[in-house]
Amino acid sequence: MSSTGGVVPVGTSSAAVNLAAALEPAQLELARGPLHVELPGAVRDRIARCREFVLEVSGSGRAIYGVTTGFGPLVEFEGRADSVGQSDNTIIHHIVGHGELLPPAVARAAVLARLFSLAQGRSGVSEQVVDSLCAMLDTEFAPAVPKLGSVGASGDLQPLAYVAHALRGHGNALFQGKLMPAGEALTRAGLKKLELDGRDALALVNGVSVTAAALGLAVAQAIRARRSAELLSALMTDVLGCGTEFTSVGLLAAFGHPDVADSGAAIRTWLEGSTPSGERPLQEVYSIRCTPQLIGAAGTSVRHAEEVVRRDLNGVSDNPLFFPEIKEVVHGGNFFGQPSAFAADQLNVALVQLGNLAERQLDLLVDPRRTSGLPPMLSPAPGRQHALQGVQISATATVAAMRRAAVPASVQSLPTNLHNQDVVPFGTQAAFVALDQANLLRYLHAALAVALRQAVHVGARRPQAPRLAAVLDRIAEEVPPIVEDRPLDVALGRVADLLDRVVSEVEGV
């Protein structure tokens, strides 16, 4: 599949975000490349005020978690007296992750998410930490972060510790996509090693920013997937000459679900200019007739996940929080990623059902009994050429993998950390699964698009709706007709990218 992993290219110049504005989930995709982060004076001032307050209370003899104490269940013991040593304590004991590395785009998105939390001026970090994160994002540097190790409870301690570790010049990092020692990557990127004290270090690791980043990226792709499902369902309806009564305005309004009505409207818009052939059954199978209800319901789950992750991205996940305006230090649990855990699991299920739909639509297309006589497997010479046969088998394997991964992570709580973390949300794992599912769904949609293109080649009608005909022509430019069997893996990746571009253009992205 495509190396872009579902991210729609936006050009080669550095993009920009502003720390004084709200961070939208879709903006996380900008962090895959150099990203300029604007740090307005008002934001810098509130960071500095909070930092001054932290230094003030730290010198007062008052106990502050992670500044004067040990971590987790060792909070009852004093921490190290020197700030550098306290910083080491925070980070180094979490450098125990394993598994494959996060894609650089995900690791960099996590840095962007963490930066927005720190910029709220409640964590007490030094200005140089924020400046360093901004500088990193403006380069092609990415921390090397193992995927496994976080339970998403005291924030994403392990993966964010790897972020801090790499920025300090330890462990590994990537520069321009190449893995190397972190110190070398920093030098190549023109970055200085990050120096931290105990509060800086804890603030960097003690939040749900990896979870929020992964879920935000999944949501951005899921929004495109919902629109791709509508487009492909409309294209299938037109190519087969199906009736369009199932998209009736009154019918869908009577159902009472706004997102269902919205999906029906989208399908109707794509179908403008198309007329039924009159050769299809009075009522189509559910993979055509019930598409507004299915896709619309998935859209509701996507909207919910988008709202949850937007709140995570613009809230403060850390412990403790500092309120200099009222001279308070508040210890609590704003690192507990339960909202995103629930939302990611719900999104996961919706993505699987969209995958089920795409796989069933593909199955319908390759079956001559249900396509008014199109050849089996859409082959121009059945037996001598196999056309979509391998694609369908791969699609079946893909949807099976998606189903197997649909077990909720948010209810898998296991006590750990001497029962300090006696209930945990596993939001990080839920978000990673949702992101994986969103990328697997790209493959299924690409497979369906290639099948629709091939169906027209072997005898189905060319779309009558002008907008659908234009989309089919764009697919045909990427994938010549299958006259003789050939590898299709690269072509499927190109079509997945094309679908992302098409629906993004429609949405005005």
Task: Give the span between the Cα atoms of 159 and 125, in whole angstroms.
Answer: 19
pLDDT at 281: 87
Phi and psi at 276, nearest 5°, equal -65, 150
398 and 470 in a common domain? yes
pLDDT at 9: 37
Contact 442, 416 (CB under 8 A): no
Domain membership flag for residue 491: yes
Cis status, amide bond into 103, omega within 30 of 0? no
Can you tell me the mean pLDDT for 129-144?
98
Domain membership flag for residue 440: yes
pLDDT at 479: 97
Can you tell me the mean pLDDT for 156-166?
95
SS3 497: helix
267 and 346 in a common domain? yes
CATH label of the domain that carries residue 135:
1.10.275.10
Can you tell me the mean pLDDT for 173-197?
96
Q: Answer left, alpha or beta for residue 125, where phi above 0 means left and psi between -120 and 50 means alpha.
A: beta
Final residue before a domain boundary, out of 207, 232, 256:
207
Final residue before a domain boundary, out of 161, 181, 207:
207
Strand bridging mode 328-330 / 321-323: antiparallel
pLDDT at 5: 45
Map 290-304 to HEC letters: CHHHHHHHHHHHHHH
CATH label of the domain that carries residue 235:
1.20.200.10
pLDDT digits (tens, 9 = 90+) for 215-264: 999 999 999 999 999 999 999 999 999 999 999 999 999 999 999 999 99
Which sign, positive or negative, has the C-alpha torsion 192, 193, 195, 201? Answer: positive
More confident position, 342 or 93: 342
Residue 71 above 80 pLDDT? no
User: In total, how many domains does the chain have?
Assistant: 2
Residue 286 annotated as catalytic: no
Q: Which position among 65, 162, 286, 443 bears the catalytic label? A: 65
Can you tell me the mean pLDDT for 490-501?
98
150 and 41 in a common domain? yes
Domain membership flag for residue 455: yes
pLDDT digits (tens, 9 = 90+) for 303-341: 999 999 999 999 999 999 999 999 999 999 999 899 999
Final residue before a domain boundary, out of 207, 238, 254:
207
232 and 169 in a common domain? no
pLDDT at 257: 98
More confident position, 78 or 272: 272
Helix orientation angle between 127-137 and 104-118, rounded to the nearest 10 degrees: 150
What is the identity of the amino acid at 147?
A: K
More confident position, 78 or 210: 210
pLDDT digits (tens, 9 = 90+) for 464-482: 999 999 999 999 999 999 9
User: Residue written as tokens 């997937």?
Assistant: 225
Residue 509 above 60 pLDDT? no
Task: Give the span between the Cα atoms of 402 and 117, in whole angstroms.
Answer: 32
Of residues 5, 493, 502, 446, the one with CA closest to residue 221: 5
Domain membership flag for residue 420: no
SS3 17: strand
pLDDT band, very low/low/confident/very high, at 77 (cuts 50, 70, 90): confident
Can you tell me the mean pLDDT for 439-465?
98
SS3 368: helix
Residues 6+ apart with CB under 8 A from 495: 446, 449, 450, 475, 478, 479
Side-chain-side CA neighbours of 116 within 13 Å: the count stands at 29
Can you tell me the mean pLDDT for 179-194?
98
Joined tokens for residue 121? 């001026």
Q: What percent of the chain has pLDDT over 90?
A: 81
pLDDT band, very low/low/confident/very high, at 414 (cuts 50, 70, 90): confident
287 and 164 in a common domain? no
60 and 113 in a common domain? yes
453 and 377 in a common domain? yes
Task: Give the span between the Cα atoms of 197 and 103, in whole angstroms.
Answer: 28
Q: What percent of the chain has pLDDT over 70?
A: 97
Domain membership flag for residue 419: no
Domain membership flag for residue 484: yes
Q: What would the DSSP string read from start to end of 431-490? A: HHHHHHHHHHHHHHHHHHHHHHHHHHHTTPPPPSSHHHHHHHHHHHHHS---SS----HH
Task: Show the beta-strand stretches assigned E in 139-277.
Answer: 141-143, 146-148, 172-175, 178-181
Domain membership flag for residue 362: yes
How much is the pTM?
0.95
Residue 418 burial (C-beta neighbours within 10 Å; 0-12, 13-18, 19+): exposed
Name the strand (E) or helix (H) holding 271. none
Map 91-154 to HEC letters: HHCCCCCEEEECCHHHHHHHHHHHHHHHCCCCCCCCHHHHHHHHHHHCCCEEECCEEECCCCCC
pLDDT at 508: 64
Domain membership flag for residue 125: yes
pLDDT band, very low/low/confident/very high, at 61 (cuts 50, 70, 90): confident
406 and 286 in a common domain? yes
Of the candidate ranges 7-11, 261-265, 286-290, 348-352, the one whose mean pLDDT is the lowest: 7-11
Name the strand (E) or helix (H) holding 323. strand 321-323
197 and 252 in a common domain? no
Can you tell me the mean pLDDT for 84-112?
91
Of the candidate ranges 66-80, 127-141, 160-174, 457-471, the one whose mean pLDDT is the lowest: 66-80
222 and 183 in a common domain? no
228 and 159 in a common domain? no
Task: Give the span between the Cα atoms of 68 and 466, in whole angstroms.
Answer: 68
pLDDT at 12: 38
187 and 268 in a common domain? no
Question: What residue numbers bound the domain in which 145 lies?
Answer: 15-207
